[in-house]
């Protein structure tokens, strides 16, 4: 099959959901345009931004970093060492070697040194590893960005991730999560930095093809702790539908973004309108509670008998 764009070269990437097939060069053009359009749709980034890109060593985040640099953004990479034996050192290596090829040195946060390696943290508070991990990562994304003067934090979530998350939120009718699911989470006050997902328009397959054709070396294994993650079930379910009806995943997620825009315009979300966060009494990070959820977690992991226990009753998000 010939490339549907230049009609000269043999196609290397077949994209049934776009009724297209591209040669490598045309695919790069297509991919960059999709990302640019995703950024423009919701004004995720502007040329003056200093962007902190959260890189795990997996394909999505390294592709994100790569494409943002190609688009001319001022970026640095942040790697969080989760303290998971074997997996963490292998993924850290991938991040460092990729960064090296672009003349960069990633910022590294080591959760062992911070006293909250994920396996220990999950065990201490008897919660699912992925939810603990998500909370700890979000905390450091924001903290590092705020401390070092970044204006945006970018993560590598792609269309498949966001559609799977939407399906999960809908299956549980989780109104609170639904109202906050978006490629753009605006910053607030001094300490809460804007969070963006510039890859929300591109699929996992497209991201993988970009990484492969660009020769980006990434860690292929999944995190060993995510083996039973429910998000993988939702992804499989959507893949099954997508296979029979190409384009469904995109319509599903874009349709949701359209709808949620309408709900917001109609003021249905007024009750969720964000008040400005206060500062955590322990670390100063922005939070809606007295002590931020990271500090509460950390005190439970490091000293279970801590005085902070009194704050455990506090409900609030941070
Ligand atoms: Zn072509
Ligand atoms: Zn705190």
Starting from the CA of residue 24, give the closest ligand.
1
Starting from the CA of residue 191, give the closest ligand.
2
Ligand 2 center from residue 279 Cα (angstroms): 8
**Distance in angstroms (rounded) separating the CA atoms of residues 182 and 198:** 11
Starting from the CA of residue 28, give the closest ligand.
1
Ligand 1 center from residue 92 Cα (angstroms): 35
pLDDT at res. 213: 96
Residues with CB under 5 A from ligand 2 (ion): 280, 282-283, 285, 292, 295
Tokens of 317: 């998000």
Instruction: Determine what percent of the chain is predicted with pLDDT higher than 70.
Output: 92
**Distance in angstroms (rounded) separating the CA atoms of residues 3 and 129:** 44
- pLDDT above 90: residue 31: yes
Ligand 2 center from residue 74 Cα (angstroms): 28
Ligand 1 center from residue 32 Cα (angstroms): 14
Ligand 1 center from residue 34 Cα (angstroms): 16
Question: pLDDT, tens digit, for every residue of 60-77?
Answer: 999 999 999 999 999 999
pLDDT at res. 270: 57
Domains in the chain: ranges and CATH: 41-218+225-276 (3.40.50.620), 277-318 (no CATH)
- Rounded to two decimals, the pTM is 0.87
Ligand 2 center from residue 301 Cα (angstroms): 14
pLDDT at res. 316: 42
């Amino acid at each position: 099959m010939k490339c549907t764009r230049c009609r000269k070269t043999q196609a290397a990437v077949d994209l049934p959901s776009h009724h297209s097939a591209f040669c490598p060069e045309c695919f790069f053009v297509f991919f960059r345009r999709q990302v640019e359009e995703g950024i423009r749709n919701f004004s995720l980034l502007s040329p003056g931004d200093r962007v902190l890109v959260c890189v795990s060593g997996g394909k999505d985040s390294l592709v994100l970093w790569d494409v943002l640099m190609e688009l001319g953004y001022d970026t640095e990479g942040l790697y969080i060492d989760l303290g998971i034996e074997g997996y963490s050192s292998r993924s850290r290596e991938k991040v460092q070697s990729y960064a090296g090829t672009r003349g960069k040195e990633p910022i590294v946060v080591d959760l062992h040194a911070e006293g909250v390696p994920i396996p220990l943290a999950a065990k201490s508070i008897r919660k699912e590893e992925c939810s603990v991990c998500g909370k700890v990562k979000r905390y450091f994304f924001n903290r590092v960005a705020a401390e070092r003067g970044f204006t945006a934090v970018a993560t590598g979530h792609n269309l498949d991730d966001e559609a799977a998350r939407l399906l999960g939120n809908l299956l549980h009718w989780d109104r609170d999560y639904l109202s906050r699911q978006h490629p753009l989470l605006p910053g607030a006050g001094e300490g809460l930095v804007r969070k963006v997902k510039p890859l929300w328009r591109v699929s996992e397959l497209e991201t993988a093809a970009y990484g492969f054709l660009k020769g980006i070396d990434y860690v292929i294994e999944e995190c060993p702790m995510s083996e039973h993650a429910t998000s993988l079930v939702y992804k499989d379910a959507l893949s099954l539908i997508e296979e029979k009806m190409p384009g469904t995943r995109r319509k599903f997620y874009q349709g949701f973004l359209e709808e949620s825009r309408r709900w917001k315009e109609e003021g249905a979300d007024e009750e969720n309108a964000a008040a400005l966060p206060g500062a955590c009494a322990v670390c100063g990070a922005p939070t809606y509670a007295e002590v931020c959820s990271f500090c509460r977690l950390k005190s439970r992991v490091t000293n279970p008998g801590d005085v902070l226990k009194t704050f455990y009753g506090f409900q609030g998000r941070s």
